[in-house]
Amino acid sequence: MSDDPRLGGDAGAPSEEEPEHVVQSDRRSPEDSFAVVGNEIRLSILRVLHERLSVGDRSEYALPYTELREAVGEEDSGKFSYHLNRLRGEFIEKRPEGYVIRYPGKELVRTVKSGAVAPAGVAESDPTDAACYLCGAPVIVAYTNGYVSARCTECRGALDFDFMPEGALSSIPVPGGAIGDGIDAAPRALLDRIHGRFCHHIRVFGDGSCARCGGRADLHLRVCSDHDANGGPCDECGTTMPATVRVTCEVCSEGGIVPAACLVSHRAPFREALADAGVDRLGYEAFAVAAGWPMRVVDDGTESAVEYDLPSGRVRVLICGDIEIREVGRSRRTPDQ
């Protein structure tokens, strides 16, 4: 999601204020990109230019050399110019009216601001008014080393993996900066925010693209060969669902294991079923309804699929690389019709 329509635009004409020598690398490795912000002056230049995007309109995005140096607070102009030039080309651009941050520069600032490296540690909220989609008991918000979970206060939950708290109903990786003081101050709002974003994210994967980088997403149905979820998550597959979908980005490897219905909750007839359940926005409720729909595995030898019994009838979801939805039976609305 770029807000910069000038991706790949040219770096602009040099001005007399800056040294002749401008470092213009061809292609930087991700490690090199982090090295660029591993310096306080360079990071500060990027932050100042990024800040300009949220104040004023387009004509004010650019900062002339002197103003930029003052905003960064570096008095040694030689030193300042050196670091400025390290950023030129890929991360910032020189225009007649001054310096402007480019898309890769914005991404670096966003990464730093959102706290890409999540803090280690464990924290839990008080019980919220959200309900477990398996047993209806109150749910709490748990943070475990970079992951936010909805956790049931009564049952064993839907997921049982080493890194998750007992009773986990979800486990969603979250940049540390996004949590803030939400676990203590507003756990229900945090729960909705994290699950709402996750639902959007997963729908994008369901449509075949990585929600993180836009790369091609591979979808693969993962059927448990010896499923037993009586009394809690199955020992074999670690979940209460007889089948889940493994999603993987072929470019950045973003991915995970998700309930099939979450991938298609925006497509008919799932979206109507969500609306029937009273869900009108994406938050914990939307996740819980989709994850809690009864489902079963269909394997007729030629294709593997899962089937859901929705209010409108039985729906088959075929997953092999991408997704196909087939309605295989309509339910009768009333017994005497």
Applying CB under 5 A, which residues contact Zn ion? 132, 134-135, 137, 152, 155, 210, 212-213, 215, 224, 227, 234, 236-237, 249, 251-252, 254
User: Which residue, among 188, 181, 55, 36, has the nearest Cα to 119 in the 3D structure?
Assistant: 181
CA 73, 78, 84, 86 torsion: positive or negative? negative
Q: Give me the residues paired with residue 100 across strands.
A: 93
Q: Considering beta carbons, is residue 224 or 310 the nearer one to Zn ion?
A: 224
In the complex, the smallest distance separating the C-beta of residue 136 from Zn ion, rounded to whole angstroms, is 7
In the complex, the smallest distance separating the C-beta of residue 254 from Zn ion, rounded to whole angstroms, is 5
What φ, ψ does residue 163 adopt, rounded to 5°?
A: -85, 5
Burial of 167 (0-12, 13-18, 19+ CB in 10 A): buried
Q: Considering beta carbons, is residue 200 or 326 the nearer one to Zn ion?
A: 200
Number of residues in the chain: 337
Q: Considering beta carbons, is residue 98 or 167 the nearer one to Zn ion?
A: 167
In the complex, the smallest distance separating the C-beta of residue 305 from Zn ion, rounded to whole angstroms, is 17
Burial of 120 (0-12, 13-18, 19+ CB in 10 A): exposed
In the complex, the smallest distance separating the C-beta of residue 231 from Zn ion, rounded to whole angstroms, is 12
In the complex, the smallest distance separating the C-beta of residue 212 from Zn ion, rounded to whole angstroms, is 5
The residue type found at 336 is: D
Q: How far is CA 270 from CA 242, 277, 278, 286, in A?
A: 19, 11, 13, 11
Q: Considering beta carbons, is residue 194 or 249 the nearer one to Zn ion?
A: 249
| Contact in structure between 229 and 152 (CB atoms under 8 Å) | no
* DSSP-derived secondary structure for 156-176: --SB--TTS-TTBS--EE--G
Q: Considering beta carbons, is residue 212 or 314 the nearer one to Zn ion?
A: 212
The residue type found at 191 is: L
The residue type found at 213 is: C
Q: Considering beta carbons, is residue 132 or 183 the nearer one to Zn ion?
A: 132
In the complex, the smallest distance separating the C-beta of residue 296 from Zn ion, rounded to whole angstroms, is 13
Token reading at 231: 């009394």
In the complex, the smallest distance separating the C-beta of residue 317 from Zn ion, rounded to whole angstroms, is 18
Q: Considering beta carbons, is residue 116 or 135 the nearer one to Zn ion?
A: 135
The residue type found at 78 is: G
In the complex, the smallest distance separating the C-beta of residue 154 from Zn ion, rounded to whole angstroms, is 5
Helix (H) or strand (E) holding 324: strand 313-330
| Contact in structure between 323 and 264 (CB atoms under 8 Å) | yes
| Angle at 291 (CA atoms; ends 156, 263), nearest 5 degrees | 140
Q: Considering beta carbons, is residue 181 or 226 the nearer one to Zn ion?
A: 226
Q: Considering beta carbons, is residue 44 or 240 the nearer one to Zn ion?
A: 240
In the complex, the smallest distance separating the C-beta of residue 201 from Zn ion, rounded to whole angstroms, is 11
C-alpha gyration radius of the chain: 25
